[in-house]
Structure 1
Amino acid sequence: MKSKVINYLKSLEKYTALIFYYSIARHLPPSDEPQSLKLSKPIRGFLASKIFDECGVGVNLEKGAYIADGKFIRVGNYSGIGINSLVQRNVSIGNDVMMGRDVIIMTTSHETSDASIPMRYQGGKEVSPVIIGDDVWIGSRVIILPGVRIGTGSIIGAGAVVTRDVEPYSVVGGTPAKIIKKRK
């Protein structure tokens, strides 16, 4: 009985944080702008700690970021989710990850295998988690497709579409993203 009450209170806390985030905190100024009064970052960071399944210290959730309901999302220490970014469920973001604005991280898509049935009637594909290692820099307007793993120390160039895994310490860019060089 006691565990049911505790679970209920945790759920209530999470959904209260989600309501406050989407109704108010998501619309506060970006963290580095003077009009934020240095309050936007700690407010959104506090709410992130209540919403995400796992949330490290110093997490920076920026203005306009869409984080679904936070289920199956893990964000490591001192990592950020960029302005107006979209993060679907089943995403793991390591420590010290920098993310530019308008990044899209997708973990699901539509089924398209049966050409005799309109795609909208075929339903969704199974969720494929995205895993981002530590010390990764994701440039603005990057799109990361379902099931991708981005290795530690990698840099994803602005506007890249990441369709397959990125080896550690790689610099990738383009559509689809290809290795430009190695950092080591």
Structure 2
Amino acid sequence: MKKLRTYICLMLYYAIARHLPGSDMIYSFGSKQIRRFLCKRIFKKAGKNINIEHGVFFGSGADIEIGDNSGLGLNCRVSGPLKIGNDVMIGPDVMIFTQNHRNDRLDIPMRLQTDPKRPVVIEDDVWIAARVIILPGVTIHRGAIVGAGAVVTKDVPEYAVVGGNPAKVIRYRNVKKV
């Protein structure tokens, strides 16, 4: 019964909710709440007050976890296994990949040479700006900021500000101990 409910929610999301206007539009008519309602039933785990914006694609969503007060920006494209912590801001057009193609064998077409899935983890209080690409197996640690257009190929340290292609540490946030 749960699988049927999940399937129905998935169909409603892709047929209707994904195309509803963004939550900042005056005529959104509760589209944010509709997407939240459906994604709470689709994702493996969904916290309180999640925000899934217009146009987000997440495949089946079965291996995606998203924490409290976190969201996926306009037209994001993500795949699981993906774990997003609490208070995470993900900007528009972000792409998160968890699988890639190999190319080392010449006797098999590249399209048939898939690597196993490698999970992406985004810890608490992270800001991922617009059009960032995150590759398989990456962990973005607590408090990090990923600048717009960055291509993240390896783990990002705590409180680091990274940018570029491939993403490199630009500086660290000013962390004050209380």
TM class by smaller structure: over 0.9
- Deviation at residue 116 of structure 1 after TM alignment: 4.4
Q: Is 2:172 the counterpart of 1:182?
A: yes
Q: Where does residue 16 of structure 1 map in the other structure?
A: 8
Q: Is 2:148 the counterpart of 1:158?
A: yes
Q: For residues 107 and 2 of structure 2, what CA distance do their matches in structure 1 show?
A: 46
* Unpaired segments ≥5 residues, structure 2: none
Q: For residues 28 and 12 of structure 1, what CA distance do their matches in structure 2 show?
A: 23
Q: Is 2:76 the counterpart of 1:77?
A: no
* Unpaired segments ≥5 residues, structure 1: 1-8
Q: Where does residue 52 of structure 2 map in the other structure?
A: 61
Q: Is 2:21 the counterpart of 1:43?
A: no
Structure 1 residue identity aligned to 2:40: S
1:60-89: CA deviation from partner (whole Å, max 9, x where unpaired): 011000011011110000100111001112
TM alignment of 1:117-136, pairs within 5 A: 117-122=108-113, 124-136=114-126
- Deviation at residue 119 of structure 1 after TM alignment: 1.2
- Deviation at residue 120 of structure 1 after TM alignment: 2.1
Q: Is 2:101 the counterpart of 1:110?
A: yes
Structure 2 residue identity aligned to 1:166: V
1:8-36: CA deviation from partner (whole Å, max 9, x where unpaired): x1111100000000000000001111110
Structure 2 residue identity aligned to 1:17: C
Aligned residue pair count: 174
Q: Where does residue 26 of structure 2 map in the other structure?
A: 34
Structure 1 residue identity aligned to 2:74: I
- Deviation at residue 46 of structure 1 after TM alignment: 0.5
* SS of corresponding position for 2:117: coil
Higher helix share: 1
Q: For residues 166 and 21 of structure 2, what CA distance do their matches in structure 1 show?
A: 33
Q: For residues 71 and 134 of structure 1, what CA distance do their matches in structure 2 show?
A: 21
- Quote the sequence identity (%): 52
Q: For residues 121 and 80 of structure 1, what CA distance do their matches in structure 2 show?
A: 33
TM-score by length of 1: 0.92
The structure 2 residue matched to 1:90, chosen from 81, 95, 106, is 81
* SS of corresponding position for 1:181: strand
> Over the residues paired in the alignment, what is the CA RMSD in angstroms?
0.9
Q: Where does residue 3 of structure 1 map in the other structure?
A: none
* SS of corresponding position for 1:42: helix
Q: For residues 44 and 117 of structure 1, what CA distance do their matches in structure 2 show?
A: 41
